[in-house]
Structure 1
């Protein structure tokens, strides 16, 4: 077992390499696309639904509930992005039961790419909700002195997302690799099951942190709307 899928190279020509990180990443992407097509091909809007559709609705509803509890008022709007993040990291962990498979999240390049997706999505959602001026204004609140600190915060939390996921996933692979060389077979099996649990927890944490950052970028609009609604109610009572 390799400590990182980057070490496993399937094909190389000059400086170009096709390593396990690229292959398994695209494999998981293909699995998610094909799986979503198969699962959603026979959805029903009637009262008679299949068990798979009920199970799928439970998952979607659970993800929406978690997003809403973070503080996002319209969870369905962010379900595609945050749900895909969760499913990708979770699928990367669940596929570790395949003997020849190594999770691409054990590579810093993969976790950095996921963190960059969050880094780009935050201003996109923030600008969409609050407008360009309103979003940029948040960097100088409550005073312009906070501008460099807010910029550093954006960069540092992106780095923290990448390193956190990489460290947790790589540590699990490293422990299993060590146990394979010094202990009987039963211990790596137990550690593999523990790694599956750890991977699911990391998928949840990564998605929730992304939701928290997006909520922080869009919550100003929600507060403004709440204040306006309260004022309208008070005016209606007075009238």
Structure 2
């Protein structure tokens, strides 16, 4: 069975930096996604082939989902949120492979992704409002709300991290427990369920990130 999800196996060190198994798995996922993206996009044509048609369908679908959430042009957010969803889906499903643990089942990966969303919220908020206008929005509707609005920014980022970590970790833990108690073939239906939940968690995380970013940038446009 797995060790504590709050600790990670250290594989080697790069100078003073310890490289854990989730970090190495994350690097491998990123390398695979970069390679696949390069192969799929290196010969784009006006008359798409089958692979390009699937790619365009995926891009259009993600862009449409973003626009449904923020109710305006989603293209500025597409590179960030599209990459986030594809990475999350791949990372969540990587735990199905024998001998591989999903990096999102360890605390540091969800924490890093939540931090990316946290920074993106403020980046797009400042870009839409300007620095002064964005900082002033934390005092709305009354100045007394300033501490609560700041606390809200921190707690929702924390909840984003915990939601992803808890759901992925618990799925892997249940499958590992059933394998230990019942043997190899019994958990196959649970693995199918884990695949579905992994995709759902990637979708939920991305939608919440879209909501947070859209809210930070949207009030400027509304005002």
TM-score range, shorter chain: over 0.9
How many angstroms apart in 2 are the aligned matches of 1:219 and 1:116? 21
Distance change >3 Å, CA 28–CA 140, structure 1 → 2: same
How many angstroms apart in 2 are the aligned matches of 1:91 and 1:120? 22
Contact 2:11 2:20 in 1 (8 A): yes
Which ranges in structure 1 are unaligned for 5 or more consecutive residues?
A: 225-239
1:211-234 superposed Cα distances (whole Å, 9 cap, x missing partner)? 00011101123324xxxxxxxxxx
How many angstroms apart in 2 are the aligned matches of 1:201 and 1:162? 15
How many angstroms apart in 2 are the aligned matches of 1:193 and 1:5? 25
How many angstroms apart in 2 are the aligned matches of 1:173 and 1:181? 12
Higher CA-based Rg: 1
Moved more, 123-132 or 184-193: 184-193
Corresponding pairs, count: 222
How many angstroms apart in 2 are the aligned matches of 1:32 and 1:186? 30
- Residue 18 of structure 1 aligns to a residue whose secondary structure is strand
CA-based RMSD: 1.8
How many angstroms apart in 1 are the aligned matches of 2:148 and 2:6? 35
Instruction: State the TM-score, normalized to the length of structure 2.
Output: 0.93
- Residue 11 of structure 1 aligns to a residue whose secondary structure is strand
Residue 122 (1) aligns with residue 121 (2):
yes
Contact 1:39 1:52 in 2 (8 A): yes
> What is residue 11 of structure 2 aligned with on the other side?
10
Residue 79 (1) aligns with residue 78 (2):
yes
> What is residue 31 of structure 1 aligned with on the other side?
32
Give the alignment of 1:187-202 within 5 angstroms: 187-202=186-201
Instruction: State the TM-score, normalized to the length of structure 1.
Output: 0.87
Q: 1:93 offset after TM fit, Å?
A: 1.9
Which ranges in structure 2 are unaligned for 5 or more consecutive residues?
A: none
How many angstroms apart in 2 are the aligned matches of 1:177 and 1:110? 20
> What is residue 21 of structure 1 aligned with on the other side?
22
How many angstroms apart in 2 are the aligned matches of 1:21 and 1:81? 22
Contact 1:5 1:102 in 2 (8 A): no
1:4-39 superposed Cα distances (whole Å, 9 cap, x missing partner)? 495433336997533211110111111111111111
How many angstroms apart in 2 are the aligned matches of 1:72 and 1:84? 20
> What is residue 211 of structure 1 aligned with on the other side?
210
Normalized per residue, which structure has more helix? 1
How many angstroms apart in 2 are the aligned matches of 1:216 and 1:19? 35
1:75-124 superposed Cα distances (whole Å, 9 cap, x missing partner)? 11001111111111100122233201111001111100000001111010
